Amino acid sequence: MTHRSSFAFALCASLAILVAVATFTSHAATTSSATSATLAPATRLGPLQPEAVPSGFELVQEPRAFEFPRDHGPHPTFRHEWWYVTGHLDARTGEHFGFELTFFRFALTPPTSSDEPAGTSAWRTRQIYMAHFAITDLDRRAFHASERLARDALGMSGAQASPFRVWLDDWFLGTPPNDTGASGSSYWQLTAADAGYSLDLQLRSVTPPVLNGDAGLSRKSDEPGAASYYYSMPRLAALGTLQRDGKRFDVDGLAWLDREWGSGALSASQQGWDWFALQLDDGSTLMFYALRSRDGGRDPHSAGTWFAPDGTTHALASDDVQIEASEHWQSPHGGRYPARWRLRVKSLALDVDIQPRLADQELDTSTRYWEGAATVAGTRAAAKIAGRAYVELVGYAK
């Protein structure tokens, strides 16, 4: 979600979290999407402006050495981070689904701060977590999304590196709860449930993590610290079950994990972003985020990564990728979203059409945005190519 929250992190993560924090009182443990949406104010971008970022947090300023599996876990010296999973699932009985499960961590005070409330209450915390769960039910032409918030206290939410786990209530991503990690598990578990839908998946990485930007440093503007550490796991084999209204479906498919952390805020000239994650049938993947300026143009810090079938990666600058929206969708809640795109990368001889599988995949959460499953069809080097995608659109809601 910068493509999602500090623009990748701060953006989506903070977009929703920052504002929701202001209304999160000490007696609330978790809250549903309906509650948080009611409490949140009309504007979500104000807290992301530079003057809203407190001091005391570590800033992303230069490349670092990534270490896995440690970096799957939390980075508490930074203000915010997120774990973002999207995917496409096919049932053995022929049904088709898209899904999203995202966890956001947001620090209220720096870890070295002495600004703590008096007393020794077990409810006291320095950070909160927010999570979004969404299902695109393609056969029913239906979309369901929900949101939860919880403080990092009393086991209600949290994250750890060894073994890797992040959770909020019973929504969970990481090494299975009954596994200490000592056996070297080769898969993660993903579980979530809400309002008639539940998901229980095993995720196994098909490719190694892909570092985006400059060896994992993704710069979002020229402002100091306006960057994130950003990697993707663009091909996760998914296998498990989805339940709809009590009926169980055995499913398999392909998922995508995006990870970012940082402490930066939006540039005053930036308004939102369009994020594309393409999984193509030749084994390649493409991630690109187009940051939008308030004047409607594209910010030059927009960027992406091409992961080739042979395992090599190529950084994509803003000028490398041309995107044209050909259709639009009007939200019943207010706001007009692009709803079909032509994406071209001349250096890759790639020319594809990206089309949502369902028009209304808008999450009406504390930060209202569009995130949905899409199809990809076109050519690469004059040969036909196809695939699936997830697209995120932030900053269009009214």
Name the residue with tokens 């569009």: 370
Burial classification of residue 182, based on how many CB atoms lie within 10 Å of its CB (0-12 exposed, 13-18 middle, 19 or more buried): exposed
Q: Three-state SS for 244? A: strand
Whether the predicted pLDDT of 268 surpasses 70? yes
What are the tens digits of pLDDT across the range 88-108? Answer: 999 999 999 999 999 999 998
Confidence of residue 308 (pLDDT cuts 50, 70, 90): very high
Q: How confident is the model at residue 5 (pLDDT cuts 50, 70, 90)?
A: very low
Going from the C-alpha of 33 to that of each of 132, 165, 195, the distances in angstroms are: 9, 23, 12
19-28, 247-256, 278-287: the lowest-pLDDT one = 19-28
- Position 225 confidence tier, pLDDT thresholds 50, 70, 90: confident
Exposed / middle / buried, residue 185 (Cβ in 10 Å: 0-12, 13-18, 19+):
middle
Q: What is the mean pLDDT of the chain?
A: 86
Does residue 163 carry a pLDDT above 90? yes
Q: What is the pLDDT of residue 43?
A: 36
Task: Please tell me the pTM assigned to this model.
Answer: 0.88
Task: Give the Å distances, CA to CA, from 160 to 73, 157, 163, 275, 377.
Answer: 5, 11, 7, 27, 39
Q: 122: pLDDT confidence band, cut at 50, 70 and 90?
A: confident
Indicate if the pLDDT at residue 237 is higher than 80. yes
CATH placement of domain 10-394: 2.40.370.10
Buried b (16+ CB within 10 A) or exposed e, 225-244: bbbbbbbbbbbbbbebebeb
pLDDT at 35 over 50: no
Identify the residue with better confidence: 116 or 381.
Answer: 381
- State residue 112's pLDDT score: 72
Vertex 213: Cα angle to 207 and 215 (nearest 5): 70
Question: Is 29 or 202 the better-scoring residue by pLDDT?
Answer: 202
Token representation of residue 343: 């994406």
First-to-final CA distance of the chain? 18
Residue 52: per-residue pLDDT:
54
Sketch the domain layout of the chain as residue ranges: 10-394
When pLDDT is averaged across residues 147-161 and rounded to a whole number, the result is: 94
| Res 27: pLDDT | 29
- pLDDT tier, 120 (very low <50, low <70, confident <90, very high otherwise): confident
How much is the pLDDT for 30? Answer: 40
Tokens 């809203």, located at residue: 52
- Sort residue 108 into left (φ over 0), alpha (ψ -120 to 50) or beta: alpha
pLDDT, one tens digit per residue, over 340-352 is: 999 999 999 999 9
> What's the DSSP call for residue 36?
H
pLDDT of residue 380: 97
The residue type of 220 is K
